[in-house]
Amino acid sequence: MFTLASADETVPEAKVPGSSRIGMIVPSSNTTMETELPELFRRQSEATGHRYTFHSARATLKNVTPKELAAMVAKAAECSAAVSDADVDVIAYACLVAVMAQGPGAHVGSEQVIGQAAADNGRPAPVTSSAGALVRTLTDMGARKVVMVTPYMPELTKLVSDYIEGAGITVQDVVGLEVADNLEVGRLDPERLPELAGRLNRSGVDAVVLSACVQMPSLAAVQRAEDELGVPVITAATATAYEILKALGHPPAISGAGALLAGTLEKLQATFSADA
């Protein structure tokens, strides 16, 4: 139940008809999600006329290590309450490995904690997490076998692989780039990704996870990789965008970022199956 704010409380500006507010919780060192997601939704706006604005809260993370990831997770509820002050329509927890480091299925509890914090703040909103979005999107796609590229050190690459396999999806092959500094992850060249994915054993796979990390840039390469490899390609960022659209009830209409967000996945899958 919503309550009226008292006269001395700050009330967010009334929403503009035909627009949605997207809240994000991001690592303090993240430089990618606040560029890739707005660009994806700019394309959605271009196709549909609906406008989207972004409102972020940040949790400290400099190096992608178990200790720092755990500390970031502990800040999730506080960040959720802060971003919900903007009266957002959906909240995305944009740190995949921080959630996955807690063990398979951890996204369920993390999303509940974030949602409860927003509700307790008087501004309830649906919640997705990049970890949950990735495994749910792969499940929605009917993917049972995938390959993936990560920027992580071997320990965390295995953790992500185990997490996905814990959702019933086989990770047939994976490459980890072994970059620990999160700012350095954000500087990786996305143009390398199609070549890296092309080296993986893709025999019989249903999808390629081109970037199993919200910090590793990938948007510039998604469409090219999908066109070259002839198999559905997603990333942690495109899966998160897909779930945001679902939460808002908006059919995807995003160009140049793969069939999933273009709304043409079934057509690509039919072609892929015919060629297999």
Encoded tokens for 95: 């740190």
d(CA 259, CA 84): 31
Q: List CB contacts of 144: < 8 A, sequence separation 6 or more.
A: 168, 169, 170, 206
Secondary-structure breakdown of the chain: helix, strand, coil percentages, each rounded to the nearest 5: 45, 15, 35
Tell me what pLDDT residue 269 has.
78
Instruction: Report how far apart, in Å, the C-alpha atoms of 244 and of each of 31, 145, 195, 211, 264 are.
Output: 19, 24, 29, 18, 18
Instruction: List Cβ<8 Å contacts ≥24 apart for 272-275.
Output: 272/230, 272/231, 272/232, 275/230
Place of tokens 């303090």: 28
Q: Share the mean pLDDT of the chain.
A: 89
Tell me what pLDDT residue 220 has.
97
pLDDT tier, 239 (very low <50, low <70, confident <90, very high otherwise) = very high
pLDDT tier, 5 (very low <50, low <70, confident <90, very high otherwise) = very low
> What does the pLDDT average to over 60-67?
68
For the cut 80, the answer to whether the pLDDT of residue 258 exceeds it is yes
Tell me what pLDDT residue 1 has.
34
Please write the tens of the pLDDT for every residue from 114-123. 999 999 999 9
For the cut 50, the answer to whether the pLDDT of residue 3 exceeds it is no
For the cut 50, the answer to whether the pLDDT of residue 4 exceeds it is no
Tell me what pLDDT residue 268 has.
78
Task: List the single range of 10-14, 26-30, 43-47 with lowest mean pLDDT.
Answer: 10-14
Task: Return the higher-pLDDT residue of 3 and 211.
Answer: 211
Sorted by where each begins, the domain ranges of the chain are 19-130, 132-235+258-275
Task: List the single range of 8-12, 177-181, 185-189 with lowest mean pLDDT.
Answer: 8-12
> What does the pLDDT average to over 216-227?
97
Tell me what pLDDT residue 183 has.
84
For the ranges 28-32, 57-61, 165-169, the one whose mean pLDDT is highest: 165-169
Give yes or no: 79 in active site: no
Express as a percent the part of the chain with pLDDT over 70: 88
Architecture of domain 132-235+258-275: 3-Layer(aba) Sandwich (3.40)
d(CA 75, CA 215): 19
Of 156, 213, 229, 233, the active-site residue reads 213
Instruction: Tell me if residue 135 falls in helix, strand or coil.
Output: helix
Place of tokens 């690592």: 27
Closest CA to 193 of 152, 150, 131, 237: 150
> What does the pLDDT average to over 77-95?
94
Please write the tens of the pLDDT for every residue from 154-182. 998 999 999 999 999 999 999 999 998 88
Name the pTM for this structure.
Answer: 0.89
CATH number 3.40.50.12500 is the correct assignment for the domain at 19-130: yes
Q: How many CB atoms lie within 10 A of CB 78?
A: 13
Helical ranges in 85-235 per DSSP H: 96-100, 106-120, 130-140, 154-166, 182-185, 193-199, 219-229
DSSP string, 174-209: EEE----BHHHHTTS-GGGHHHHHHHS--TT-SEEE
Closest CA to 160 of 134, 186, 191: 134
Of 59, 64, 73, 95, the active-site residue reads 95
Task: Return the higher-pLDDT residue of 270 and 252.
Answer: 252
For the cut 50, the answer to whether the pLDDT of residue 265 exceeds it is yes
> What does the pLDDT average to over 86-108?
91
pLDDT tier, 42 (very low <50, low <70, confident <90, very high otherwise) = very high
